[in-house]
């Protein structure tokens, strides 16, 4: 990837949809994913391997994955919270592609929460338990030939405990870096971070990693700072960005948390700043409108609304 370009991770099919009150049919999710690929998304978080009673929208994870286009230029990510989730992701590859569909998950996304209270509510783990579980997950995935990366969520604040100290986040990152994940992401799960905090924390993470492991960022726009935070992350050396079509999203276990930064808003910011993205903004806006019609409401993206 060129120095003056970013890589987009389109998280709309998973993080964008997981908090939607109405269940989106498998066929609708696949149609959305195919349109995302058409507008240039080449790395997509398509499902999470969680208990269907906890996140009903993701109950059809395996069915969605079985219908994914088998494209060699595209990476499909599945979110996993424990070793069982990694095993489910691996199982999607056992059947192999059929009729050009369903080659399975390419990469698992592990998650560790930087807060004991939120971690227990989100996935039943304290920080210490999350470190142990994710260390085991990364080792298991690597041993089985499955690509794996990790996200440290609630890295800028917790809905229950408030401030999360940068030292806590960096200590977790150091533990995880020792396992050699493909990437380490920091997520502002409840959208409390500011550009100054982003610059400080990603700057410190970059020094800790020393270029050995790429950084990724994941911002929510709960307080309107998401896109500004993305620019601060770029300036701090981040080149991989999560975003969700239309700004959809939210965590079922984080009260009042709203959507991710919108793919359209991020792409507008970067392209107008001379930074390549590989995304067709007009096609993304068209996909926004197509999906908004199906949801029966306008999506939050400001760029799409202004177009």
Does 140 have pLDDT greater than 80?
yes
Residues 215-239 have a mean pLDDT of 97
The answer to whether 131 touches 114, Cβ cutoff 8 Å, is no
Does 113 have pLDDT greater than 80?
yes
Does 253 have pLDDT greater than 90?
no
Environment class of 1 (CB within 10 Å of its CB; exposed 0-12, middle 13-18, buried 19+): exposed
Can you tell me whether residue 9 is helix, strand or coil?
strand
* Integer Cα distance of 41 and 182 in angstroms: 19
> Per the structure block, which two tokens stand in for 243?
């975003």
Does 120 have pLDDT greater than 60?
yes
> Per the structure block, which two tokens stand in for 303?
């760029």
pLDDT at 1: 52
Beta partners for residue 158, in sequence order:
162
Environment class of 139 (CB within 10 Å of its CB; exposed 0-12, middle 13-18, buried 19+): middle
* Architecture of the domain spanning 7-306: Alpha-Beta Barrel (3.20)
Cβ–Cβ contacts within 10 Å for residue 129, how many? 15
Positions marked catalytic: 251
Q: Where are the domains of the chain?
A: 7-306
Region of residue 279 (phi > 0: left; psi between -120 and 50: alpha; otherwise: beta): beta
**CA nearest neighbour of 50 among 75, 82, 26, 94:** 82
Task: For residue range 289-298, list pLDDT tens digits in order.
Answer: 999 999 999 9
pLDDT band at 152 (very low <50, low <70, confident <90, very high): very high
Residues 69-76 have a mean pLDDT of 96
The answer to whether 107 touches 77, Cβ cutoff 8 Å, is yes
Ordered DSSP codes for 168-217: HHHHHHHHHHTT--S-EEEEETTS---HHHHHHHHHHHHHHHTTSS-EEE
The answer to whether 159 touches 193, Cβ cutoff 8 Å, is no
Burial 200-224 (b: 16+ CB within 10 A, else e): ebbebbeebbeeebbbbbbbbbbee
Residues 127-137 have a mean pLDDT of 96
pLDDT band at 205 (very low <50, low <70, confident <90, very high): very high
Terminal Cα distance for the chain, rounded: 29
Question: Could you give the angle at the alpha carbon of 89 between the alpha carbons of 85 and 95, nearest 5°?
Answer: 145
DSSP class of residue 236?
Answer: T
Residues 105-132 have a mean pLDDT of 93
The answer to whether 208 touches 272, Cβ cutoff 8 Å, is no
Enclosing H/E stretch for 136: helix 127-143
Residues 127-141 have a mean pLDDT of 97
What does the mean pLDDT of the chain come to?
95
């Amino acid at each position: 990837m060129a120095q003056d370009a970013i890589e987009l991770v389109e998280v709309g099919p998973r993080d964008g949809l997981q908090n939607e009150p109405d269940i989106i049919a498998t066929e609708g999710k696949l149609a959305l994913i195919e349109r995302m690929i058409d507008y240039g998304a080449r790395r997509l978080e398509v499902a999470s391997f969680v208990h269907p009673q906890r996140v009903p929208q993701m109950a059809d994870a395996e069915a969605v994955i079985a219908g994914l286009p088998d494209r060699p230029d595209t990476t499909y990510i599945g979110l996993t919270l424990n070793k069982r989730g990694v095993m489910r992701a691996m199982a999607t590859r056992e059947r192999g592609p059929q009729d050009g569909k369903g080659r399975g998950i390419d990469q698992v996304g592990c998650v560790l929460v930087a807060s004991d209270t939120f971690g227990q509510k989100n996935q039943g783990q304290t920080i210490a338990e999350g470190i142990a579980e994710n260390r085991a997950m990364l080792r298991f995935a690597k041993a089985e030939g499955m690509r794996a990366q990790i996200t440290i969520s609630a890295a800028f604040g917790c809905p229950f405990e408030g401030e999360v100290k940068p030292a806590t986040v960096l200590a977790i990152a150091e533990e995880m870096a020792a396992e050699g994940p493909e990437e380490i992401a920091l997520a502002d799960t409840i959208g409390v971070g500011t550009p100054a905090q982003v610059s400080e924390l990603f700057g410190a993470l970059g020094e800790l990693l020393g270029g050995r492991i790429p950084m990724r960022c994941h911002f929510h726009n709960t307080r309107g700072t998401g896109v500004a935070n993305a620019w601060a992350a770029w300036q701090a050396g981040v080149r991989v960005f999560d975003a969700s079509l239309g700004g959809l999203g939210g965590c079922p276990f984080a009260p009042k948390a709203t959507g991710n930064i919108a793919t359209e808003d991020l792409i507008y910011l970067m392209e107008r700043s001379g930074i390549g993205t590989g995304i067709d903004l007009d096609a993304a806006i068209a996909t926004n409108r197509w999906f908004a019609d199906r949801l029966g409401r306008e999506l939050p993206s400001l760029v799409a609304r202004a177009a």
